[in-house]
A and B are shown apart, each in its own frame.
Chain A
């Protein structure tokens, strides 16, 4: 096996980035599901970026003459009770939901990731405080906690982002803590001390880059949850308000028409939500394979 390892090293005097890209290509080739997840992710990003440009109709323009029409050639996803095109609304909503998810994940990465790394590296009181805060958050039913935070702070998109970040805090803190803890006594950390690095510099310059791959996987996995959380809050009337196109609100609005047979109003935004969450979870699995050195045979 060691022969294989050295062989790989000798054959690839490439930089870390190109090696990673080559490895990524290999993983995607090995596992078509990962490739599928990546293309779906690209599609979501394109929709989020170009949403209003590619949408066939104005998502807010109501036209009561075509209200509650089932899917047809003109309106692929049908129309809602105000005659708005469901397809256009689903596409335009991508940007809002995606932005909420990205912002909350970035925020929780900063808060939870840094707190967790510090807890794992310093131990002692830092560890106790961070771990108990994480335990306290975990003790609440997470969605109810998010509801409470948004209700208390006020009904805005910013507060949805904050609530989603707080709810995810323990996941990040715990992963970062565990990863930092095993590297705390590693030889390269001692070597960094000998090189004159202070403790904070070791934390940020030596430990953090080493746990980034795992944190990125964690980000992808919680991304789906963040979207679901944001949509859930909107569904129960917290957060984004109508008529803004948002998947959660659309499902909420459409649910009233389910009984009378107009299924498409709730179905298509719900399906979009499901596809997005599914995509991020698959992506997380794929990323884990890419960053896991054990798979690099």
Chain B
């Protein structure tokens, strides 16, 4: 890049992990150079070796891993040859790291101020006289309001975004030269993501630091990086300036990833790779195989399938004093008596879902969207309001009784985490068969088996994988099992609770297309719960935007997303980083 030697020079790096099945090369012959003051993005899907590369630079690989080949040079020092004591000095003072989950990176039983002090003391950046002052100054720099007060807070008292700010303060406390940010905003809301990333950029620029941003999000890489390295299966496939890589990607994998990223102006089909040879495409199954027979919305088209009226969910609030209660202060409207203070997670919302329609329920964490969907799902009881499903008030049936009613099979759900939602001791076939065995009319082992195989074909899951347990399946395959289980009984309404949040973009593209295809085939209605407006735009006819338990805006997707009326919707849209359209 320039004549001066780079700050960090990774040459021909190969990292091996010794496992029971022999040696696995997680990173192969990787070359990465970071110049002073540069922000480098490492982009790739899970398993691409992007995190392992950064761990190797910090020499914090776990015991099974080792640097097999190559060299890592940081400001002229050979990191591979450095002793453990030298590395301890290097970590934190010269190179520091921000991790994905800020809550896990902070010690839960130590005040945040003390944690910053620990770092300062460790690297002799402050003496006992000025350490408190310096720690408070750090909190101020990461824009934590009332730093003197927050100095005494514990991590659990702070929101996710605040915790990440504290982690940034920890990482920058000793004025390192290189910051490695490993998915720093995954799990944060878009508006929080924007403020956190802006903060990182501002602070590192001001200090002339270099940054390595590890991410799977093209938008983020485009918005914040000077150069981008694309990794696939342990190899660097492309390195280019971020401006050129987005307009003229050269490698096929880069193009595939960029295609798969939901973006304005792209339709659902556009996300799939141009040639579909590799990916098993969901088979078009004739209507006869679906029992129901019609690919059109069933029943009366005009009457809405689901009507929600003034739905309310209240939780008793624990402890009316203290930091926890202060968090919800805006809900203290005075009508609740002090001894039975209630927190309204969902505060009187009304909407409907018509037959064959996809409705998106969008909002940031804590807005009540999941509580709403869980109530509609009849897994928890409502506090007030009505839930009318196909004319029946299902809200009055206790959640504990609902599981065994015939109505159960008409409302199904696809869960957010495909791993967590599959019983680890059930095979894929057993998981798909569970609803049939409990609620279905199909009897006899052969019939159930045949139905599972038909479903597997329909969702694009190879039939020979049906005998596997969840831990033997990939994330995308598990998602398919979850979808198959949800549609096995031909439900009328399927609630999709962030069904692709845990998946890589290329898998997400395929799963979204699958969901759309199934909806058209089976005439189901979707209630799509998500925080990702780009994904909602692709799949939904109408969008409902929620904030603080209330609906701030609802309407047709194009209208809400392109001419938003509520300020909150505009903020949400503005916060999404977009890769430049090629």
Contacts and interface: CB of A to CB of B under 8 A. Distances in A.
Interface stretch (B1-9, B431-439, B572-580): B431-439
Given A4-B19, A7-B24, A210-B423, A12 B472 contact: yes
A136 interface: no
Interface stretch (A42-50, A138-146, A196-204, A238-246): A196-204
B17 A191 contact: no
Contact of A13 (B377, B409, B423, B468): B468
B469 interface: yes
A193 interface: yes
B421 A190 contact: yes
Contact of B17 (A1, A15, A26, A193): A1
* A: interface residue count bin: 35 or more
A293 B424 CA distance: 11
Interface string B541-561: 000000000000000000000
Contacts of A72: none
B21 A188 contact: no
Contacts of A26: 20
B264 interface: no
Nearest to A5: B471
B372 to A, nearest CB: 15
B438 A195 contact: yes
Contact of A196 (B26, B379, B408): B408
| SS class, residues of chain A in contact with chain B | helix
Interface string A199-216: 101000010011000000
A16 to B, nearest CB: 6
Interface residues of B, number: 50
B233 interface: yes
Contacts of A1: 17, 26, 52, 62
A7 B21 contact: yes
Contacts of B464: 13
A9 B474 contact: yes
Nearest to B433: A195
Given A194-B435, A210-B425, A3 B469 contact: no
A74 interface: no
B537 interface: no
Contact of B467 (A7, A9, A15, A210): A15
A66 to B, nearest CB: 55
A152 interface: no
B409 A196 contact: yes
B395 interface: no
Contacts of B409: 196
Interface string B14-26: 0001011100101
A196 B403 contact: yes
Nearest to B467: A15
Interface stretch (B162-170, B311-319, B359-367, B411-419): B411-419
Interface string B436-476: 00110000000000000000000000001101110111100
A187 B415 contact: yes
A197 B21 contact: no
Given A2-B46, A6-B47, A188-B422, A197 B17 contact: no
B276 interface: no
Given A6-B474, A26-B20, A195 B423 contact: no
Interface in B45-91: 46-47, 49, 52, 62, 64
B467 A193 contact: no
Interface string A260-297: 00000000000000000000000000000000010001
Interface of B: 17, 19-21, 24, 26, 46-47, 49, 52, 62, 64, 233-234, 377, 379, 400, 403-404, 408-409, 412-413, 415-417, 420-426, 431, 434-435, 438-439, 464-465, 467-469, 471-474, 482, 485-486
20 contacts: A1-B62, A3-B47, A6-B474, A9-B472, A10-B472, A13-B472, A187-B422, A188-B423, A191-B413, A191-B434, A192-B434, A193-B379, A194-B377, A194-B379, A194-B408, A194-B412, A194-B486, A196-B438, A201-B438, A210-B423
10 tightest CB-CB pairs across the interface, nearest first? Answer: A187-B421, A196-B438, A187-B420, A196-B439, A195-B435, A9-B472, A188-B423, A3-B47, A195-B434, A2-B47
Interface of A: 1-13, 15-16, 26, 186-188, 190-199, 201, 206, 209-210, 293, 297
